[in-house]
Amino acid sequence: MTNSLKNSVQLIGNIGKDIVLSTFDNGNKKASMVIATNDYYTNNKGEKSKSKQNGTTRSLGQNCRTHG
């Protein structure tokens, strides 16, 4: 499989809020969503720890297509 993207990111987490879909006057589309991710690690004391972070992601254009 050939990937034509120069840069790509894969985020695995939970959707924090409803996805917001917007359409601009010129027909372009934008999708915005909040994703909560967990980071599990062992600290310098040898204890297992978990860190939760929320991030906002946005997609533009063809990446906003929906499949149903």
Residue 37 has which token pair? 């991710």
What's the structural domain count of the chain?
1
Kindly report the CATH number assigned to the domain that includes residue 32.
Answer: 2.40.50.140
Task: Give me the pLDDT at residue 68, please.
Answer: 40
- List, for residues 11-46, the tens digit of each pLDDT value: 788 888 888 888 889 988 888 888 898 889 998 999
Residue 61 has which token pair? 């254009």
Contact criterion met (CB below 8 Å) for 30 and 24: yes
Query: Tokens 């999708």 belong to which residue?
Result: 31
Sequence-separated (6 or more) residues with CB below 8 Å from residue 37:
11, 12, 13, 52, 53, 54, 55
Q: Specify if 43 maps to a domain.
A: yes
Q: Specify if 4 maps to a domain.
A: no
Domain that holds residue 47: 14-61
pTM of the predicted model, to two decimals? 0.56
For residues 27 and 1, give the distance between their C-alpha atoms in angstroms, rounded to a whole number.
30
